[in-house]
Structure 1
Amino acid sequence: MSGDRIVAVTGATGFLGRHLVMALGCEGARVRILARRDPAPELWAGVAPEVVMGNLDDPHALDRLVARADAVVHAAGLIKARDRDAFLKTNRDGTRAVAIAARRGAPDARFVAVSSLAAREPQLSDYAASKHAGEEAACAAYADAPGRLVIVRPPAIYGPGDRETLAIFQAASRAVAPVFGSGRAAVVHVSDAAGAIARLALGVGDAGCYALADPNPAGYALGDLLREAARAVGSNPRLVLIPDGLLLTAGQISAWWGRLGGRAPIFTTGKAREMLHPDWSVPAGEALPAAVYRSKIGIAEGFRETVAWYRAAGWLP
């Protein structure tokens, strides 16, 4: 399917990016990545991408990255930052820079912008607003060539190597686990997400904006996710409902404590609002068509695999 197609990738050393590079390599693509420092070759399990040294602020590096590319996948982004400006600098301005470089240096390439399901509700958090702004920046750069732009909105991505969703399995391992909100949220295993994005990059499917999900796009209540995580770790916690106000207050305290310590915590008031949002499902009208992508990994299988990896890595007892 891919032959000698060159696919340029940002964010290749991140959680999703590592799996994406491997998925592209398995399809036979020649992968070229942007990196701030020499990456460890074991990141990609046998795939040896060409490395362009630089970052999103370096237009010359971006020009080298996209030169003669058949597709450009922009997967770099921040999921936590000290403030709104920091989110926008990477998630909006970085997207704009890569998209402009691609329009200039690879005008016939397909551009795949990896966004987030959170972009659907930009009023909830600085992160969601920045991902929405990144989508707008990509659309502006491709206003004269909308048929070359694909925007992908994954929900929460989990799987081997992910540190952010580790907290779910840690909570499920304890005697008491907190539950909050009454909404439903879609999730997707990283292998499925990477495979879908790789297919899009290699020309499968039409341009547009699409969401991803696992075999249950209607999503899960948090209690259901915790119970499945508990089965995967072999525990049986008592689930305790946390009032919405308490979660929001905890987000404020976490953000304040992070600023005090000079850190960028992922849990903030905005993140609490995202967590309390009632509907992170993926309706049929937003989903990537089945002809392009059909999720293979449900949470029972995916959680077992993830827990096995965490334990082998020493992240879970």
Structure 2
Amino acid sequence: MQGPHPVPQRRVQAAGAGLSRRGAAGRLAAVTGATGFLGRQIVRALAAEGWRVRILARRDPVDPLWREATPEVVIGDLGDRTALNRLCEGADVVIHGAGLVKAPNRAAFDAVNVAGARRVAEAAAGAPHVLLVSSLTAREPRLSHYGASKHAGEQTMAEVLQDRLTIARPCAIYGPGDRELLPVFQAAAASPILPVLSEAGRVAMIHVEDAARQTAALAAGPPAPAPVVLCDERPDGYSWRELMAAAARACDRTPRLAPVPSALVHAIGITNDFTVLLRRTPMLTSAKARELLHPDWAVSPEERSEGLPRAIYDLEAGFSATVAWYRSAAWMKH
């Protein structure tokens, strides 16, 4: 469901046809959200393609992923217009990946995902190409405040930048360093029963390294005329049974899969909404329940770009690598 002024949905023809490493050499990419789960990998992918990288950060970061990348750091945040101007000055592409995924209310989401997006767009007025890393949830803005704020952020940047904007919509991202799916793997390693949230739903997935490589390819190409969804080689998505069974196999377990009534998932989400009053922001809120139970997070051919790199990880390899990382980092004991 789109808002009252949807971004045009047109077939994207090879929008992600990226430059070679040689072609990207010397070009400058300015990145917000560089220290986040996906952002760290985007910086790494850009450096591997020969880009010079400049990032916005609240402090000078040290990241083991960046052993071969030495990004220039502009100290500041999305509320600092001076820092944003310095970040974007002379950039060949500006990649806006910063955003909130959890917040107590719509206003808190909008303060970052909409107002912050506008400030980045205004600071990037001189850049020939701006790439917004949005979310597939922006396709269904009525499901949650998060999805609505991402959709509004897309609209805001499109108003300012017009045909200089590319919108990337990653589907569900997982991989090393991901805290959101960690409880799923912890349950898969320890529980004799795993829940199946829906028998009909389809969920497209992508490993974080593949999402970063596809983002870097989009950055190297011309602005895309319509939002581009980032996903693995299964754009039709996975059933919840497939996802839970694959998580269990990655943990060398074979638990029983049990359907969970959707009413129960909604009830848990509604109950958790009240913890906001205690200044806690749980991941499973009523809004998140609506997102999880939405039947169609698959990706249509019109939403993909023919020129993007093929995903390296399928679900089995990706989940196995993720669990191996969790164990090596002592995030999982089993």
Q: The TM-score by the shorter chain falls in which range?
A: over 0.9
Measured in 2, the distance between the counterparts of 1:24 and 1:287 equals: 21
Q: Which residues of 2 match residues 1-317 of structure 1 at below 5 A?
A: 1-103=23-125, 106-107=126-127, 109-143=128-162, 146=163, 148-173=164-189, 174-181=191-198, 182-203=200-221, 206-257=224-275, 259-289=276-306, 291-317=307-333
SS in 2 for 1:32: strand
CA contact (8 A) 1:211 1:286 kept: yes
Quick one: distance in 2 between partners of 1:26 and 1:309? 22
1:95-147 per-position Cα deviation (integer Å, ceiling 9, x unaligned): 111011101xx24x21000010000000000001000001101110113xx1x
- Are the counterparts in 1 of residues 53 and 72 from structure 2 also a CA contact under 8 Å? yes
Residue aligned with 1:297, SS: coil
Q: 1:161: Cα distance to partner?
A: 0.8
What's the CA shift for 1:35?
Answer: 0.4
Give aligned-pair identity as a percent. 49
More moved, 14-23 vs 161-170: 161-170
Could you list the structure 1 runs, at least 4 aligned residues long, displaced by more than 6 angstroms after superposition.
Answer: none
CA contact (8 A) 2:54 2:87 kept: yes
Task: Give the aligned CA root-mean-square deviation in angstroms.
Answer: 1.3
Range with bigger deviation, 38-47 or 54-63: 38-47
Kept in 2: contact 1:116–1:155 (CA 8 A): yes
Shift of 1:207: 4.0
Kept in 1: contact 2:166–2:223 (CA 8 A)? no
Name the CA distance, whole Å, in 2 between partners of 1:225 and 1:218. Answer: 13
| Larger RCO (alpha carbons 8 Å, 6+ apart) | 2
- Render the CA deviation track for 1:145-177: whole Å, top value 9, x for unaligned: x1x210000111001111111122122221111
The question of whether the paired residues in 1 share the 8 Å contact of 2:229 and 2:304 is answered with yes
Please state how far the C-alpha of 1:204 moved relative to its aligned partner. 5.7
Q: Does the Cα contact within 8 Å between 1:6 and 1:29 map onto a contact in 2?
A: yes
In structure 2, C-alpha distance between the alignment counterparts of 1:301 and 1:42, rounded to whole Å: 22
What amino acid is the match of 2:165? L
Contact 2:44 2:65 in 1 (8 A): no
Amino acid at match of 1:156: A
Aligned residues: 309
**8 Å contact from structure 1 (residues 41, 48) kept in 2:** no
Amino acid at match of 1:184: R
CA distance in 2, matches of 1:2, 1:61: 25
Cα separation, 1, equivalents of 2:273 and 2:68: 40
Aligned partner of 1:222: which letter?
A: W
> Normalising by the residue count of structure 2, what TM-score does the alignment of the two structures yield?
0.90
Match of 2:20 in 1: none
Structure 1 residue 43: Cα displacement: 4.7
Q: Which runs of 5+ in 1 are unaligned?
A: none
TM-score, normalised relative to structure 1:
0.95
1:234 to 1:204, Cα distance in 2 relative to 1, 3 A: farther
